[in-house]
Chains A and B, each alone.
Chain A
């Protein structure tokens, strides 16, 4: 699903440039639940931005759903994001003046889905995250956990290939964190590839595979051994 080979990225900092990603190789298969761990400055957000087509890489190659990402202009990136990717952000990034339902329906608007159909699908996904009864509330009337659930519904509404979550629990307390992770797990069980970025060990431990990043290189990539509860 996601295949990265020898990925480099640097940011210009005045005269010098800051080399953030120093030749990453990463392969994520369909249906995987992967977390990227690393301290701040390790390059994990940069990696997510590149994977999420929000930023472009300097060197190396990146295949999304088998498609080589290169010479990406804004329009192409927008279409690909809409088609293949769903985003969940640490700060939710809901549009403040739109209701939960409208927020969830927005990606469908850009996909060109008709109004009625948009509403139906959006409501379906809100139901899925357990917020059907909050559909007509604006974000300021929702709790942090509810906001993140709305964001997850929004990420899922276009039926993407990959859900990218950037510190999805960073702004939540541990109880709500747990339920949000539970939701992500459930999505993954239904076959969605989920890609989480976090710096919290216990969040990473909830995923199936942990990739550790330090100073722009991958230092470990291992499967999580699950203690199966009966």
Chain B
């Protein structure tokens, strides 16, 4: 159905009616440009919030022990709660299906670490291998702690990227021995952490090694775990509540006592974040649809105006032998062509503008403003279709006008 003649005729008409062509093209370009910019900036806001909550796994739960604030079952308040290895076992058995990663944790702050002449103080944690995904730590060199390390109570450590930098400068710390308060540990891995500088200044060592070294009993400090990602937010929250309840029962803590056993469930934050994101998404969608509607109305008006303006020309063409179909075809071809080209131009312009904005608006909470390709292409197609329909209706009417009426139109 490609008819070169029709295209030549179209190009001639468009190029000889530049104002009209530019006017209708501009409307479309501008609508798509605005759409892309608003949508992109909205997405930038979204990215900022996504990043803000990306430090640790979104499904993390941390369980800490404190002192009781209420007397319970004949026990006085002010009693210190101590987690022990049997708590690890208890939780593992009770919540096997709900837990994804799980690690007890012993933490010592301000541990002096020495490598040759260099020394510094770090937080050292004795953990299980599962702690790595919990912290979202990413191994850069070597490996994280293994089950075998736990079993053998190996004197090995995985160090944060900045620990390596502090102690080894630009050299690799892999395989070197670091002295932690008199005991030598071999570096088996270096990790980075999206959580930031603090998270990259930790030293991890096998839980068993650390427990035997410092506690010399079965005591431990706190638990970190991630719940099964298959749980939805509500299930995750009730999982956290049940966990709290059972742990309080186990340690004879008043269920209303908030101080003795503290469970920090990220699912609660996630719920808020999700709600906030949903609202943000709705706002973005609303803005997008609003811009599109404005564009559709704009192009519709212009198409109606264009056809009206051309009534006489269409009458002349009809008198000279143009069939209604050829009149409609001509207007449609012009309008589809102009809207498609202009839409594409607007799209490119918008994407380019977003690219060049980049992260320059980061202080306004707009990070990496960008739009998914399918969204802008979809929006452009919507406008092209709208322009087509908007052109079709008046074109059809114009094609139906008797040529004599059209010819008398001044």
- Let me know if A93 and B407 touch, CB within 8 A: yes
Complex: A93 Cα to B408 Cα, angstroms: 10
Which B-chain residue is minimally distant from A92 (CB atoms)? B316
- Let me know if B320 and A54 touch, CB within 8 A: no
Q: Do A55 and B402 contact each other (CB < 8 Å), given the known contacts A95-B313, A97-B13, A97-B16?
A: yes
- Let me know if A75 and B313 touch, CB within 8 A: no
Q: Which residues of A contact B17 (CB under 8 A)?
A: 97
Q: For chain B residues 288-347, which have a beta carbon within 8 Å of chain A?
A: 312-313, 315-326
Q: Do A154 and B320 contact each other (CB < 8 Å), given the known contacts A74-B399, A93-B407, A115-B5?
A: yes
Q: Which residues of B contact A93 (CB under 8 A)?
A: 312, 315-316, 319, 407
Tell whether B9 is near chain A: CB-to-CB under 8 Å: yes
Q: Which residues of B contact A154 (CB under 8 A)?
A: 320
Tell whether B148 is near chain A: CB-to-CB under 8 Å: no
Interface segment, one of A106-114, A184-192, A206-214: A106-114
Q: Which residues of B contact A79 (CB under 8 A)?
A: 321, 323
Tell whether A61 is near chain B: CB-to-CB under 8 Å: no
- Let me know if B320 and A110 touch, CB within 8 A: yes
Interface segment, one of A23-31, A81-89, A128-136, A215-223: A81-89
Complex: A114 Cα to B320 Cα, angstroms: 17
- Let me know if B319 and A87 touch, CB within 8 A: yes
Tell whether B391 is near chain A: CB-to-CB under 8 Å: no
- Let me know if B407 and A89 touch, CB within 8 A: yes
Q: Which residues of A contact B323 (CB under 8 A)?
A: 74-75, 78-79, 110
A103-143 CB mask vs B (1 if < 8 Å, else 0) is 00011011100110000000000000000000000000000
Q: For chain B residues 141-164, which have a beta carbon within 8 Å of chain A?
A: none
- Let me know if A54 and B403 touch, CB within 8 A: yes
Q: Which residues of A contact B13 (CB under 8 A)?
A: 97
Q: Which residues of A contact B315 (CB under 8 A)?
A: 93
Tell whether B400 is near chain A: CB-to-CB under 8 Å: yes
Q: Which residues of B contact A97 (CB under 8 A)?
A: 13, 16-17
Tell whether B256 is near chain A: CB-to-CB under 8 Å: no
Q: Do A110 and B400 contact each other (CB < 8 Å), given the known contacts A93-B316, A98-B16, A115-B5?
A: no
Complex: A98 Cα to B310 Cα, angstroms: 13
Tell whether B8 is near chain A: CB-to-CB under 8 Å: yes
- Let me know if B402 and A95 touch, CB within 8 A: no
- Let me know if B404 and A115 touch, CB within 8 A: no
Chain A min CB distance to B410 (Å) = 8
Tell whether B12 is near chain A: CB-to-CB under 8 Å: yes
Complex: A94 Cα to B183 Cα, angstroms: 100
- Let me know if A78 and B316 touch, CB within 8 A: no
Tell whether A176 is near chain B: CB-to-CB under 8 Å: no
Q: Which among B313, B324, B404 is the interface contact of A54 at CB below 8 angstroms? A: B404
Q: Do A110 and B319 contact each other (CB < 8 Å), given the known contacts A54-B402, A54-B403?
A: no
Q: Which residues of B contact A109 (CB under 8 A)?
A: 5, 9
- Let me know if B404 and A82 touch, CB within 8 A: no
Complex: A158 Cα to B407 Cα, angstroms: 20
Q: Which residues of A contact B325 (CB under 8 A)?
A: 75
Q: Which residues of A contact B316 (CB under 8 A)?
A: 93-95
Which A-chain residue is minimally distant from B319 (CB atoms)? A87
Q: Which of B324, B325, B326, B404 is packed against the most chain A CB atoms within 10 Å?
A: B404
Q: Do A110 and B16 contact each other (CB < 8 Å), given the known contacts A49-B404, A55-B404, A93-B316?
A: no
Complex: A83 Cα to B207 Cα, angstroms: 97
Q: Do A54 and B8 contact each other (CB < 8 Å), given the known contacts A74-B400, A75-B325?
A: no
B1-40 CB mask vs A (1 if < 8 Å, else 0) is 0000100110011001100000000000000000000000
Q: Which residues of A contact B404 (CB under 8 A)?
A: 49, 54-55
- Let me know if A106 and B320 touch, CB within 8 A: yes
B residues with a Cβ closer than 8 A to A are 5, 8-9, 12-13, 16-17, 312-313, 315-326, 399-400, 402-404, 407
A54-B402, A98-B16 are known contacts; what are 18 more A-B pairs with Cβ within 8 Å?
A74-B318, A74-B324, A75-B323, A75-B325, A78-B321, A78-B322, A78-B323, A81-B318, A89-B407, A93-B407, A95-B313, A96-B313, A97-B17, A109-B5, A110-B317, A110-B320, A110-B323, A110-B326
A residues with a Cβ closer than 8 A to B are 49, 52, 54-55, 74-75, 78-79, 81-83, 87, 89, 93-98, 102, 106-107, 109-111, 114-115, 154, 158
6 nearest A-B pairs in the assembled complex, by CB-CB distance: A82-B321, A110-B321, A97-B16, A54-B404, A78-B323, A107-B320
